[in-house]
Amino acid sequence: MEPQRHPTEPVGFARHDHSHCVEDALAAAEARCLYEGLRFTPVRRRALEILLERHRAMGAYEVLERLQAEGLGAQPPAAYRALDFLVANGFAHRVERLNAFVACNHPGEDHIPAFLICRSCNRVAETVALPARAQLVSAAAASGFEVERVLVEAEGRCAACRQSDSE
Amino acid sequence: MEPQRHPTEPVGFARHDHSHCVEDALAAAEARCLYEGLRFTPVRRRALEILLERHRAMGAYEVLERLQAEGLGAQPPAAYRALDFLVANGFAHRVERLNAFVACNHPGEDHIPAFLICRSCNRVAETVALPARAQLVSAAAASGFEVERVLVEAEGRCAACRQSDSE
DNA sequence: CTTGCGGTGTTATAACATATCATTTAGACG
DNA sequence: CGTCTAAATGATATGTTATAACACCGCAAG
Ligand SMILES: [Zn+2]
Ligand SMILES: [Zn+2]
Ligand SMILES: [Zn+2]
Ligand SMILES: [Zn+2]
């Protein structure tokens, strides 16, 4: 119900002060919405908070469950609408491989995300994919294809899971 | 029901001799299965043929429909099993963005596919993503993440669709 | 023959996503 | 302040994609 307070919760695959990262990201989102005239409604705010709390990719129905528990929308469309808003405005990304959503690690930075997805613990780390995009754009140009959006996702195993495997 | 015979049917976004390309790919798959001791059963063979005929990304249920029409399996698992076999052995790829499958353009070549997906006509062209993989692997190494599989998909518009747009 | 394994048939259900229409709310405007 | 409008939400229903689970069959090794 309330954010986890352990100061070294893993995010992506690194440890960090989780309580601050949730608060900061939420505050930043709030500020940016105000600035850009976007409506950061309770459902949307809470949906982002849910993604941030876990710092994992979460399915829409998983988010929905938590919204329901607090009376913020009871049906699938509520969750999808909130998540669509977050994705459309760069507060979160959709991870195609998992049919799931994850809070953005570089909000407000105008970037092309790339994801590292651990197939054991399902955690997701976000990095950037600019070189991949450049390569693809030039490859595409040969056939007259115009690239609008690029999606880069790597599947593998994170350090922690590889470690625990060999134990 | 029977393969399209138009000699300049588009594949990916280029034109080519489609009738031969279906036959050739099927024969090559057959040969490779024989060589590697894989069982190229009627359902699997026909599923690949269906993907090749269209040379588009097809949903599992779309493939299923066509299999059903020929009495080759009536339920979803039949299609998923056949498609899983094709993907596992490199005869086809899964396009995550579309939750769909497409016959491989470089069978037997041990490659990392990248896809160009036209958001208008839904056609898919396959190209290669080696540089993207290298970049990702090195980015991942910093956090101890081991990349096993890389997925690169670009969304945009093909030459034909851009053309017809401006008309 | 018989035993095991891979492939298939079949049922049921899980998981993900959207169309549609009614209702409410927030803000713009006169 | 009222009233209009557009955006957001509520609610119902349904569509789409994917898998779990178990039964059965055929083939080939032992
Ligand atoms: Zn991001
Ligand atoms: Zn892990
Ligand atoms: Zn391929
Ligand atoms: Zn097109």
Whether B9 is in a domain gets the answer: no
B12 touches A: beta carbon within 8 Å? yes
- CATH number of the domain to which B150 belongs: 1.10.10.10
Q: Which two tokens stand for residue A36?
A: 């850009």
* Closest of A115, A94, A92 to residue B97, by C-alpha: A94
B143–A97: do the CB atoms touch at under 8 Å? no
User: What mean pLDDT comes out for the span B79-90?
Assistant: 97
Coil/strand/helix, residue B97: helix
Domain span at residue A54 reads 18-166
Beta carbons of B153 and A95 less than 8 angstroms apart: no
User: What mean pLDDT comes out for the span B59-70?
Assistant: 96
B78 CB and strand C closer than 7 A? yes
Whether B1 is in a domain gets the answer: no
Which pLDDT score, from 0 to 100, does residue B32 have?
A: 92
- Give residue-wise pLDDT tens across range A122-157: 889 999 888 889 989 998 998 999 999 999 999 999
Q: Which of A59-63, B15-19, B111-115 has the lowest mean pLDDT?
A: B15-19
Question: CB pairs below 8 Å between A and B: how many?
Answer: 142
Query: Distance (Å, rounded) from C-alpha A161 to C-alpha B148?
Result: 14
Q: Residue B26: pLDDT above 90?
A: yes
- Report how many domains make up chain A: 1
Which pLDDT score, from 0 to 100, does residue A164 have?
A: 84
Which residues in chain B are closer than 8 Å to A131, comparing Cβ atoms? Answer: 131-132, 135
A125: left (phi over 0), alpha (psi -120 to 50) or beta: beta
Whether B114 is in a domain gets the answer: yes
* pLDDT greater at residue A75 or residue B55: A75
Residues with CB under 5 A from ligand 2 (ion): A 118, 120-121, 158, 161
Whether A6 is in a domain gets the answer: no
Beta carbons of A118 and A161 less than 8 angstroms apart: yes
Q: Residue B148: pLDDT above 80?
A: yes
Percent of chain B with pLDDT over 90: 66
Q: Residue B3: pLDDT above 50?
A: no
Q: What is the pTM of this model?
A: 0.89
Whether B2 is in a domain gets the answer: no
Which pLDDT score, from 0 to 100, does residue B11 have?
A: 57
Whether A85 is in a domain gets the answer: yes
Query: Distance (Å, rounded) from C-alpha A86 to C-alpha A98?
Result: 17
Q: Residue A167: pLDDT above 70?
A: no
Query: Distance (Å, rounded) from C-alpha B108 to C-alpha B28?
Result: 9
- Give residue-wise pLDDT tens across range A7-45: 445 567 877 788 788 899 999 999 999 999 999 999 999
Whether A13 is in a domain gets the answer: no
Whether B5 is in a domain gets the answer: no
Residue B130 alpha carbon to ligand 3 centre in Å? 12
B119–A148: do the CB atoms touch at under 8 Å? yes
H or E segment and range at residue A124: strand A124-128
Q: Which residue has the tokens 């989102």?
A: A29
- Give residue-wise pLDDT tens across range A62-119: 999 999 999 888 899 999 999 999 999 999 999 999 999 999 988 788 899 999 999 9
* pLDDT greater at residue B1 or residue B117: B117
User: What mean pLDDT comes out for the span B35-44?
Assistant: 94
Which pLDDT score, from 0 to 100, does residue B2 have?
A: 40
